[in-house]
């Protein structure tokens, strides 16, 4: 495995604590030219050779960032102060790095070999137990494989004896976004997929109608992905799918057409799903890290088991790279440090993801959840005295993105000429899997050009000279030239690999998973809990009875609960009035 990155630099300045490290980063950014990139290339034309890291065919070029040797050393010093090496060891040792929920974060075990030795330490009160996470995951994976092979062979059929041609996955959040991006990456544009995959997440009834339009219930297998089997949106959509199957095939068909990705065996049984069609995963698997688990069952059903296993192998390869590679050659570490620089030194509040492959069109949405649910935190982990304090520095930026080249004709106007700096990750495969090499060359040319244009920009002097060459009048030049200026000096990373195959898909997603962990460690937050999603759920469960039609309210004692602010109360009343239910 080839690996390279910037060499060690002597005489690193020690950083006594995180605050000093973040202060130092801001001071470096405020130096003359501290935010500029082009002077770095002028001083070192082959800068890319030192600021590119490799892991086999995968490369990370972060040379188009305003990071010089001093800034990079400060970032590594901050990583040392935050004990990134110790955190990495605790993570892979299965320690409860998810401190607020007293859980390990052992999603790496989901793609590890059974004998990898990955353990998960589970703490409950005074009780501590250790599970062989890799062995447990492998056992459930074997059960998944047998089920997938039975469906593909026709041993598992629908209630009428027809083979399954379509699989509908019902879930939301991590039970939807990760499986969707992986399934699309492994099936779009390929002619060897095993089943047609469909996804239903939004509780909007229109989404159900559109998703099931044209589907044959007799040939549709439905997967319900919910650890607790009580998530509101998933429960309502699952009930709708059950009614859809029952209306077409009868109540007894439920057992043949449904499988559950859950740990709530009682609720699953009440729904009508047989125990041998229930696939479980453990508390050490967070939702946004669960595509590798039974939650991702749709992936092998659609793409085939071999491709699913290759994707797991790619993720495990990145796990081993992150675990074993020194920090200076470590791709997740370097990608995370560049993000720290952009967020905490340059003050960038956003991050753009541009995958130049239409099969990765849902990758930005998955990374939105992965990063913003993980690191969208404002409170640090408890200190030595057990006190959790507000973070005195910014944490996760807002992520957004679209496939290239589509984005170039929408929001890239702002990225090039807007008043705020937006760092960009460009993601590209060197080789395509189709017979249009000219199209792929055009795709690559646009990716490279966008990154270069963001860095170089175009000055008013250049524009004036160009307009004059084309015969524009002085008055026209005065009026138009300022509007064509692109200031440049805007940072980007370019992530490139050989081709988008299952192995590279797994490796790419795992790269970002570990980048999130790196940044959470440096920010001193818990990247693995998600308490911020709870309040809205709780309030929604209280408001839902208040939206009950007036004629049915006698059966709903909580329908007149109230107690809201005047705006929410007025909105509820307006909603009921428009529906004729007030």
What is the spatial distance between Cα 552 and Cα 548, in angstroms, rounded to a whole number? 7
The structure tokens listed for 326 are 């020194």
Residue 285: per-residue pLDDT: 95
What is 181-199 written as a DSSP string?
HHHHHHHTT-S--SSEEEE
Q: Identify the structural domains of the chain with CATH numbers, from first to last.
A: 18-29+46-81+331-456+490-531 (3.40.50.10490), 133-306 (3.40.50.10490), 459-489 (no CATH), 545-579 (no CATH)
What is the spatial distance between Cα 342 and Cα 422, in angstroms, rounded to a whole number? 9
| pLDDT 10s digits, 387-429 | 999 999 999 999 999 999 999 999 999 999 999 999 999 999 9
Question: Phi and psi at residue 122, in whole multiples of 5°?
Answer: -110, 125
Residue 331: per-residue pLDDT: 98
Average pLDDT over residues 494-512: 98
What percentage of the chain has pLDDT greater than the value 70?
Answer: 96
Average pLDDT over residues 137-148: 97
Residue 384: per-residue pLDDT: 85
CA dihedral defined by 466, 472, 475, 476, rounded to 10 degrees? -80
Average pLDDT over residues 225-241: 92
pLDDT confidence band for 502 (50 / 70 / 90): very high
Q: For residue 484, what are the CA distances in angstroms to 24, 315, 476?
A: 35, 43, 12
The alpha carbon dihedral of 252, 253, 256, 262 has a sign of: negative
Which residue's structure tokens are 């989404």?
207
Residues identified as active-site: 373, 409, 537
Residue 561: per-residue pLDDT: 65
Closest to 415 (Cα-Cα) out of 447, 450, 366, 445: 450
Which residue's structure tokens are 């909105």?
571
What percentage of the chain has pLDDT greater than the value 90?
Answer: 86
What is the spatial distance between Cα 396 and Cα 378, in angstroms, rounded to a whole number? 9
What is the spatial distance between Cα 495 and Cα 62, in angstroms, rounded to a whole number? 9
Residue 3: per-residue pLDDT: 46
Look up the pTM and report it.
0.94
- How many Cα atoms within 13 Å fall on the side-chain side of residue 117? 2
What is the spatial distance between Cα 397 and Cα 343, in angstroms, rounded to a whole number? 7
Helix axes 205-212, 232-249, angle to 10 degrees: 40
Which residue's structure tokens are 């004692």?
557
Average pLDDT over residues 290-302: 97
Count of H-run helices and E-run strands, the chain: 22, 13
What is the spatial distance between Cα 323 and Cα 512, in angstroms, rounded to a whole number? 14
Residue 13: per-residue pLDDT: 67
Q: Please, is 246 exposed, middle or buried when counting C-beta atoms within 10 Å of its C-beta (0-12, 13-18, 19+)?
A: middle
Most confident of 229-233, 268-272, 530-534: 268-272
Residue 555 pLDDT greater than 80, yes or no: no
Task: Note whether 506 and 315 are within 8 A (CB).
Answer: yes
pLDDT confidence band for 536 (50 / 70 / 90): confident
Residue 1 pLDDT greater than 70, yes or no: no
Question: Phi and psi at residue 19, in whole multiples of 5°?
Answer: -60, -45
Residue 358: per-residue pLDDT: 96
Please state, rounded to an integer, the average pLDDT across all residues of the chain.
Answer: 94
DSSP secondary-structure letter at 6? P
Question: Phi and psi at residue 73, in whole multiples of 5°?
Answer: -65, -40
Residue 548: per-residue pLDDT: 85
Q: For residue 149, what are the CA distances in angstroms to 62, 140, 156, 403?
A: 43, 14, 9, 33
The structure tokens listed for 30 are 């405020």
pLDDT confidence band for 558 (50 / 70 / 90): low
Q: For residue 32, what are the CA distances in angstroms to 13, 29, 35?
A: 20, 8, 8
Residue 412: per-residue pLDDT: 97
Selected residue with higher pLDDT from 546 and 221? 221
Residue 255 pLDDT greater than 80, yes or no: yes
Q: For residue 543, what are the CA distances in angstroms to 198, 235, 535, 569?
A: 30, 17, 12, 10
Average pLDDT over residues 16-37: 96
Average pLDDT over residues 220-247: 94
């Amino acid at each position: 495995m080839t690996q390279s990155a910037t060499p060690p630099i002597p005489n690193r300045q020690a950083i006594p604590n995180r605050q000093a490290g973040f202060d130092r980063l801001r001071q470096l950014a405020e130096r003359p030219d501290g935010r500029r990139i082009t002077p770095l290339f002028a001083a070192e034309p082959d800068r890319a050779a030192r600021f590119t890291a490799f892991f086999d065919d995968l490369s990370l070029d972060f040379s188009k960032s305003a990071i010089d040797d001093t800034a990079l050393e400060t970032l590594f010093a901050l990583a040392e102060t935050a004990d990134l090496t110790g955190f990495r060891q605790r993570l892979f040792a299965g320690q409860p790095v998810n401190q607020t929920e007293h859980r390990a974060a052992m999603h790496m075990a989901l793609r590890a070999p059974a004998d990898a030795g990955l353990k998960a330490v589970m703490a409950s009160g005074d009780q501590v137990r250790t599970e062989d996470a890799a062995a447990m995951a492998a056992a459930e994976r074997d059960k998944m494989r047998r089920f997938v092979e039975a469906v593909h062979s026709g041993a598992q059929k629908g209630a009428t004896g027809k083979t399954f041609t379509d699989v509908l996955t019902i879930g939301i959040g991590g039970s939807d976004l990760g499986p969707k991006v992986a399934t699309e990456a492994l099936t779009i544009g390929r002619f060897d997929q095993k089943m047609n995959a469909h996804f239903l997440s939004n509780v909007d009834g229109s989404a159900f109608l559109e998703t099931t339009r044209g589907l044959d219930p007799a040939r549709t297998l439905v997967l319900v992905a919910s650890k607790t089997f009580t998530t509101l949106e998933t429960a309502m959509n699952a009930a709708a799918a059950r009614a859809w199957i029952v209306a077409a095939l009868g109540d007894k068909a439920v057992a043949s057409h449904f499988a559950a990705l859950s740990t709530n065996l009682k609720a699953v049984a009440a729904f009508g799903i047989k125990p041998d069609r229930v696939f479980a995963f453990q508390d050490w698997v967070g939702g946004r890290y669960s595509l590798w688990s039974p939650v991702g069952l749709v992936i092998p059903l659609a793409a085939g088991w071999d491709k699913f296993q290759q994707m797991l192998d790619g993720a495990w390869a990145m796990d081993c790279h992150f675990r074993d590679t020194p920090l200076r050659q470590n791709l997740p570490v370097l990608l995370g440090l560049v993000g720290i620089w952009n967020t905490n030194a340059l003050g960038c509040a956003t991050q753009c993801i541009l995958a130049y492959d239409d099969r990765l069109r849902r990758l930005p949405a998955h990374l939105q959840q992965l990063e913003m649910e993980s690191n969208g935190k404002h409170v640090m982990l408890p200190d030595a005295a057990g006190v959790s304090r507000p973070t005195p520095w910014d944490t996760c930026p807002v992520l957004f993105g679209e496939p290239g080249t589509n984005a170039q004709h929408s929001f890239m106007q702002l990225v090039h000429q807007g008043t705020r700096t937006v760092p960009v990750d460009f993601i590209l495969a060197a080789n395509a899997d189709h017979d249009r090499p000219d199209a792929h060359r055009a795709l690559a040319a646009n990716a490279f050009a966008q990154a270069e244009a963001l860095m170089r920009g175009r000055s008013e002097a250049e524009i004036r000279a160009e307009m004059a060459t084309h015969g524009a009048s002085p008055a026209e030049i005065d009026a138009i030239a300022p509007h064509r200026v692109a200031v440049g000096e805007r940072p980007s990373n370019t992530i490139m690999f050989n081709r988008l195959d299952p192995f590279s898909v797994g490796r790419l997603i795992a790269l970002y998973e570990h980048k999130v962990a790196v940044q959470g460690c440096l920010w001193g937050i818990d990247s693995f809990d998600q308490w911020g999603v709870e309040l809205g759920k709780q309030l929604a469960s209280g408001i839902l009875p208040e939206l009950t039609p007036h004629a049915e309210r006698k059966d709903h004692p909580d329908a007149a609960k109230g107690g809201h602010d005047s705006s929410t109360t007025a909105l509820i009343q307006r909603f009921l009035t428009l529906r004729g239910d007030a």
